[in-house]
Amino acid sequence: MPRNVIAAVLAALVVLPLAATAQEDETATTVFADDRYIAGGDVEIDETTTGDLFAAGEEVTLSADVDGAAHMAGRRLSIEAPVAGALYAAGYEIDVEAAIDGPVSVFGADVEIETTLGGNLRAFASDLSLSGAVGGSAILAADELDLDATIEGDVMLSAGEIEFGDDARITGQLILYAEEGDAPAIPEAVVPADRIELRDIEGWDRDVGPSMRDLRRAGWAAAIRGFAFSVLLVAVIAAVAIVVLPERVIHWRERALAEPGRSLAWGFGTLSLIWGAGVVLAFTIFGLPLLPAAFLIGAALAYAGYVLGSYVLGVAIWLKLGNAMPTDTLPKVGLAALGAVLAGVVALIPLLGWLFVMALALYGLGALVNSYRARRNDKGDSGGSDPAPEPMP
């Protein structure tokens, strides 16, 4: 269950960079390694996805096959085409009308499942309607449940009100959670009494609780792994730059330390120019295909700026502590890792952390651009390169 919940929630996060570029009546989409990422206001996926699908929007409609898994988030979700893999969906209204071969995990207020499901089902909703057969087990939690289909496996069920249709069947065991003396009546035609286990509603927290604890543990583990990977990646990129371009790195570092305000301004202007040009070109229609490239280039440059900014941050703190600037490669890489760790810790602060990381990336990017601009100007004036400016004490 933890990975299912995480995948459903991450569907929105994965496509946030695209959603930022999509207007209310527009859709932004990218296909990478057969996986499709799409976001917008009213989104319709009408092209076959050969990999996994990640979609988010106000209203999302899936009308073309998905060969992999589908991760969807939005206010209204409509699945009208088959999904060969798993389906993870989170929204207000969710309507599943096409066959799903893999497991299904849905989280919403009003959920309606009208199709055959090949795997297990996990559905959490206020109003839940299930009229399609389930080939595996099911975990169902709802205030109001309308069951009119066969569930082939075991069922864990917690519901305030239950309405059974003529086709309602549970071929496995039913574990029913209810308050003492308030258990809903289960017809024999649905499941015989000898296959019903009644548990107190408090047992739901006890039985399902471990899954939620697993979710929290998995979330922390993923966060720690992601943090460690980001620090390692910064250190590796910094090491490559220091080894391959030692003089340039020195110039970038000292330019950033000597002119922090100008570096930040140049970084903001450069990123605005690249992304702004991409948007303007998109309005010409002919330049629309260049929009993803503009955002990818801008993102790559911003990350390069983040690496340099992390390195400069580590150096600045090291120098402020009264230490001399190291000359060997490994200590310099360590300073880059130090800056990345500090930036990652500050990033944990809501809002302010994000602003700090963004400013650090713009600061580093601006130092790159400012250094390049100064070198070009000096070459034009004297035919040579100028010495780097003295760093700030």
Model pLDDT for residues 5-31, shown as the tens digit of each residue: 334 434 433 443 444 444 444 567 788
What's phi and psi for 150, nearest 5 deg?
A: -95, 130
Alpha helices in the chain (DSSP H): 2-14, 16-19, 202-244, 246-258, 260-283, 290-320, 329-347, 352-382
Residue range 67-126, pLDDT digits in tens: 999 999 888 999 999 999 999 998 889 999 999 999 999 988 899 999 999 999 999 888
Q: Are the CB atoms for 60 and 79 separated by under 8 Å? A: no
Helix 352-382 with 329-347: angle, nearest 10 deg = 140
CA distance 160 to 126: 10
**Helix (H) or strand (E) run with residue 1 in it:** none
Separation of alpha carbons 200 and 318, rounded Å: 59
Q: What's the pLDDT at 158? A: 87
3-state SS of the chain: helix, strand, coil percent to 5? 45, 25, 25
Whole-structure pTM value: 0.51
Instruction: Note the pLDDT of residue 95.
Output: 94
CB 87 within 8 A of CB 95: no
Residue 328 pLDDT class (50, 70, 90 cuts): confident
Residue pLDDT, tens place only, 336-382: 888 888 888 888 787 788 889 899 999 999 999 888 887 777 665 54
Tally of CB atoms within 10 A around 205:
11
